[in-house]
Amino acid sequence: MAATTSSRSGRRSRPHSGAEIREAFLAFYEARGHRRMASASLVPDDPTVLLTIAGMLPFKPVFLGQTQPPAPRATSSQKCIRTNDIENVGRTARHHTFFEMLGNFSFGDYFKTEAMTWAWELATTVYGLEPGHLVVSVFRDDDEAEAIWRDVVGVDPRRIVRLGEADNFWVSGPTGPCGPCSEIYYDFKPELGVDHLDLEDDNRFIEFYNLVFMQFNRDAEGNLTPLENRNIDTGLGLERMAQILQGVPNNYETDLIYPLIETAATLAGVNYSQLDARGQTSLKVIGDHSRAITQLIADGVTASNLGRGYILRRLLRRVVRHGRLLGITTPFLTAMGEAAIALMVDAYPQLVERRDAIMAELAREEARFLETLERGEKLLAEVLSAGPSQISGEQAFELYDTYGFPLELTEEIAEEHGLAVDLAGFEAAMEAQRQRAKGAAVRLDLTLQGAIEAMAEQLPATEFRGYEALEHPSQVMALVVNGQPSRIARAGDEVQIVLDSTPFYGESGGQIGDRGVLAGGSSGAGPEVGVIVRIEAVSHQRKLIVHHGRIERGELTLGDTVTALVDRSCRRRVQAHHTATHLLQAALKQLVDPSIAQAGSLVDFERLRFDFHCPHPISPEDLERIEERINGWIADAHALEVREMELERARSAGAVAMFGEKYADTVRVVDVPGVSMELCGGTHVANTAEIGLFHIVSESGVAAGIRRIEAVAGPAVLDYLKERDTVVRALGDRFKVQPGEILERVSSLQDELRAASRALAAARSELALARAEALAADALEVGTSRVLVARLDGVEGSALQTAAQQLQERLGPGGAVVLGGLPAPEDPAKLVLVAAFGAEVIAAGPKAGSFIAAVAKRCGGGGGGRPQLAQAGGRDAASLDPALDQARTDLISQLS
C-alpha cells in the first residue's frame, strides 16, 4: 500500500500506528532467527560517548571483538538521543533529539544477500510500500550490492543510485572496522520519473532504512583488509516510517509525537493547525523534547552544568522557553511529563516505575529555570546600562544559551532602548556551537587507542587476588614506558604494568585504587631485591588491571616475576570508608526516606563522599541521628558476610543495586546482617568494629535534586580531629579566650562590625545630604521651574539618589535635579548619575529615566528608571563635567 501525504483531517485513516510498526519489525526478524533485545539505557557503558546516539552502540564491544555476541543474530528497538542538530528540531520534517532506531544485526553470521532481501521484503510486504515508490543507494565501488539489488531482489536498475564515500561508506574512525552501506529511500513523487534522481531532495525523498556491511578493517595508512567475521548493522527510523505509513507531512504529526503537541497546545490555549510556522515550531520542539527529557530522567540523568546533565538541562529549558513563546506563563513541565509517560509506557514500562523521580526532577528544574530567566533579564539590564551602541551577537547568544532568554525578547527590549541586536554575530556564535557539538557527537569512535588498550587484544584478563591477600607473586605481562610499549624499564621511568594476577584493587565503583610496591625482578623477591616499583595508582582498562607507577631502583623486564605488595595502611583506610558508605546509605534510607538512591560515590584514603537523590537538604538534627545510628552499628561489631550469588537471587534477597548500573549474571553481595545488603565489588572490613568511628563533615547540594554528604571514618577521623584542634587552639590564642568561648567572641565581633558599618553608612548619607543642602541655593529659575545640576564625589549611588530626591522635594513640583559624581575618586572608571523631577517638570516634557540615560551615554554608560526618579552609570570620568554642563543646558532649553 502506497502512503500518501494528507491533511490533518486524514489522520484518522492512517494504516499503522507507531506501536504496530515497531512490533512488526521485531516480529519479522524474530521469525528469522534473531534474538529480540530490549532497548539499552540512554546512558551507555561506553565512556567515550555521553549518550546512546545510535542503535548499534550497545553492540559496539561485540563488533570490536571485545565481548561475545548475545546471539549470532539480534534485533532491537533502541531509544537514542542526539543533540548535534538541535536547532533544526521543529524546523525540518524529521530532525529529533529523541528517536527510536529499529535494527537487525548479524555477528559473523549472514551478510549482504540476506540483509538486502529481508529489508526489501519487510518494506514491500510487511509495510506494504509499492516498489515504484522506493529508491536504493549503494557505494560507488560496491558492484556486489548493486548486483544483489538488481538481480536477486529485482529492483528496477533505474532506481539504484551510486553515491560516494561521504554518503555510503561507514567508518568507525580514522582506523578500525568499516564498510560500504546501502540505503532505502521512499519517493513521495514517483510521477516525476527516474531521470537524474537527486536523493538530497528532502521534499521528494526520505531515507528510512540504512544497511551497513561491516566487512573491512582500515589501518593507519588507509589500507583496507577484509575482516575475518563480517557483520551486518542496520537502522530503520521508527518516526520516519510512521510518517510514510500514516501519510502525514512530517514526523511530528505521527501518533508518536502529535499527542504531546496537542497537550502543549491545550495548555497554551492555541490550535496547532491555526498557528503560523513559528508557533507550530514551538509546539514541535515541546513535543520532541518532552519525550527526550522524560526518557533521560527515567534512565537516571539529572540536570546539571556538565556532560549529559547539561544536555538534559538544555532540553528542559528549551521546552519552558518555547512554552513561554506560546503564552504558557505557569509551570507545565510535569503536565508534559505525564503525557509523555502515558504515550510511551506500553513500550517502556519502566517509565511508570520512575514516575515520581521524573515528576520531581521536572518540577525542580522548571522552578530553577524560572529564577534563571529573571537573572537573564537582570543581566540584559546590566548590558543596557553600559550604554552600548548595539547588543553584540556574543551577548545575545550568552543570554540565549546560558539563560534560555529568547532572542526575540532580547530584540524587543533592545528596541525599546533604541538599540539593535547584532544578528549576524548571534548566528556566528550559534554556528560555532553547532560545529563544536557536531565535532563531539556526530561520529562513534570505535578505534582502539592507547598502548595498554591495544595490548588487551592479546592478553588474558588480569586475575584479582586482593580479596584474600595483600601480597602475591605475579608475572609482568605488559610494560609501557613513558606511554610506549617496551620490554624493559629502568630507574626513573614512568611505567604502566599489567600482571597476570594482582592483589592491587583497580579504581572502580567509586573506590580509589590501591597503593604499594612491586619488588623483585628476574630473580624474584629474594633477600637481594633487584627492583622496586612504587605503585601510585591502579586502574581498569577493559579486562586488565593496570598498575601506574615509577621505577625507584633497578630494572624491570617483560616476563619478570615480582612480589606485589599492597600498602596495608592505605587498604585499611579505604576499607573503613567503603563499609561506612554502605552504612551511610542504610541510615539515610531508615531515617530520612526509604526511596533515597545513590547517585555516585568516592571512597579514598582520606574521606568518603556519597551523592544521593533527595529533593531537600538533610536537617542538622537528622545528620546527628544518622551519625549516631552509624556509630551504633560500628559499636555493635557486625561481622560482614560476603558471597557471590545469581543476580536475580540477590535482588530477591533485598540487595541494593545502584540504579542504571550494569551487572553480570553472578554478582558479589556485601551483607552487614540486619543493616545493609548491597551489590559491590569493593574491599571492606571484616567487622564493623574495625571502622572505629564515623563522623559527618558536611552536607550540601551539588545539583538539582542531588545532595552530597562527606564524612571520615577509621584512622581518617583522628587526622580530621587533629586538624580541627589546631585551628581551635589558634583561634583561642588569637581572641584570648577558651575554646568554648570562641563562638560567643566571634558573634560579638560580628555585631560590632555590623554596627560600625551601619554607623559609617549613616554618616556618609548625612554628609551627602548636608553637602546637597548647600547646593540648593545654586538652583536656576527657569520660568516656573527650578533647575539644579551639580557634581558630588565620594557619595555612593543610594545616598546620591536620596540626596537628589530630597533636593527635588525642597525645590517643589517644578524642581529638576541632576547629580553626578565618582563614589570612589580612586576608581575613575565608575561614576554615578541620578535625576529627580517634580510633577510640573514631567508635565512639561522631560522624564527622569530617558533624560539621565542620555546623560549617561555621554559618559560611556547607560541606565534609566521612572519619570520622577532614575539612576544611571558611566565609565568615562573625564566626560562627567562636560556631560553635566550639557544636561544643564538641555534642561533649561526644554523648560524655557
What pLDDT sits at residue 375? 73
What pLDDT sits at residue 451? 60
- The residue with greater pLDDT, 368 or 351, is 351
What pLDDT sits at residue 521? 55
Share of the chain above pLDDT 90, in %: 50
- Identify the three-state secondary structure at position 318: helix
- 169, β-bridge pairs: 180
- Residue 192 Cα distances to 75, 157, 161, 189, angstroms: 36, 17, 16, 6
Instruction: Identify the band that residue 182 occupies on the pLDDT scale cut at 50, 70 and 90.
Output: very high
Q: Which of 140-149, 237-246, 492-501, 728-737 is predicted least confidently? A: 728-737
What pLDDT sits at residue 72? 94
What pLDDT sits at residue 529? 55
Q: 393, 424 in Cβ contact below 8 A?
A: yes
Q: How many CA atoms lie within 13 A of 52 on its CB side?
A: 26
What pLDDT sits at residue 404? 64
Q: 209, 123 in Cβ contact below 8 A?
A: yes
Q: 493, 551 in Cβ contact below 8 A?
A: yes
Q: Torsion angle, CA of 69/75/81/82, rounded to 10 degrees?
A: 90
Q: Indicate if the pLDDT at residue 32 is higher than 50.
A: yes
Q: 665, 646 in Cβ contact below 8 A?
A: yes
- The residue with greater pLDDT, 864 or 196, is 196
For the stretch 657-666, pLDDT in tens is 765 456 677 8
Mean pLDDT for the stretch of residues 837-847: 91
- Residue 469 Cα distances to 461, 579, 621, 668, angstroms: 19, 18, 41, 17
- Identify the three-state secondary structure at position 618: coil
For the stretch 601-643, pLDDT in tens is 889 999 999 998 887 899 999 999 999 999 999 999 999 999 9
Burial track 643-671 (b if 16+ CB lie within 10 A, e otherwise): eebebeebbeeebbbbeeeeeeeebbbbb
- 730 contacts: CB under 8 Å, gap ≥ 6: none
For the stretch 538-578, pLDDT in tens is 988 878 999 999 999 999 998 899 999 999 999 999 999 99
- Amino acid 600 reads G
Residue with cell 509499492: 130
Q: What is the DSSP string of 655-691?
A: -B--TT----SEEEEEEETTTEEEE--S---SBGGGG
For the stretch 404-436, pLDDT in tens is 666 766 776 677 677 888 888 888 887 777 665
Q: What share of the chain is helix, strand, coil (3-state, %, to 5)?
A: 45, 25, 30
- The residue with greater pLDDT, 11 or 370, is 370
Return d(Cα 704, Cα 702) in angstroms, integer: 7
Q: Indicate if the pLDDT at residue 525 is higher than 70.
A: no
What pLDDT sits at residue 458? 72
Q: 247, 5 in Cβ contact below 8 A?
A: yes
Q: 111, 230 in Cβ contact below 8 A?
A: yes
- Amino acid 813 reads P
Phi-psi region of 869 (alpha: psi -120 to 50; beta: other; left: phi over 0): beta
What pLDDT sits at residue 68? 86
What pLDDT sits at residue 449? 40
- 332 contacts: CB under 8 Å, gap ≥ 6: 264, 267, 323, 366
Mean pLDDT for the stretch of residues 726-749: 84
What pLDDT sits at residue 54? 87
Q: Indicate if the pLDDT at residue 526 is higher than 60.
A: no
For the stretch 145-161, pLDDT in tens is 999 999 999 999 999 99
Burial class from Cβ neighbours inside 10 Å (0-12, 13-18, 19+) for residue 121 reads middle
Q: What is the DSSP string of 521-579?
A: ETT-S-SS--EEEEEEEEEEETTEEEEEEEEEESEEETT-EEEEEE-HHHHHHHHHHHH
Return d(Cα 67, Cα 603) in angstroms, integer: 29
- The residue with greater pLDDT, 556 or 48, is 556
For the stretch 199-234, pLDDT in tens is 989 889 999 999 999 998 877 777 888 888 899 999
The dihedrals phi and psi of 670, each to the nearest 5 degrees, come to -105, 115
- 537, β-bridge pairs: 548
Q: Which of 615, 535, 610, 547 is nearest to 579 (CA)?
A: 610
Helices (H), 34-185: 60-63, 112-121, 143-147, 165-168
Q: Indicate if the pLDDT at residue 443 is higher than 80.
A: no
- The residue with greater pLDDT, 530 or 257, is 257
Contacts 24+ apart (CB under 8 A), 301-304: 301/42, 301/43, 302/361, 302/599, 302/613, 302/703, 302/704, 302/705, 302/706, 303/361, 303/364, 303/365, 303/368, 303/703, 303/704, 303/705, 304/703, 304/704, 304/706
- 240 contacts: CB under 8 Å, gap ≥ 6: 94, 206, 207, 208, 251
How many other C-beta atoms lie within 10 A of the C-beta of residue 282?
A: 27
Q: Indicate if the pLDDT at residue 767 is higher than 90.
A: no
Q: 869, 835 in Cβ contact below 8 A?
A: yes
Q: What is the DSSP string of 854-894?
A: HHHHHTT-EEEE-SSEEEEEES-GGGHHHHHHHHHHHHHHH
What pLDDT sits at residue 457? 64
Q: Indicate if the pLDDT at residue 800 is higher than 70.
A: yes
Q: Angle, to 10 degrees, between the axis of helix 355-385 and the axis of helix 407-416?
A: 30
- Identify the three-state secondary structure at position 401: helix
User: What value does the mean pLDDT of the chain take?
Assistant: 86
Mean pLDDT for the stretch of residues 135-148: 95
Q: Angle, to 10 degrees, between the axis of helix 848-858 and the axis of helix 880-895?
A: 150
Residue with cell 555477528: 107
Q: 835, 804 in Cβ contact below 8 A?
A: yes
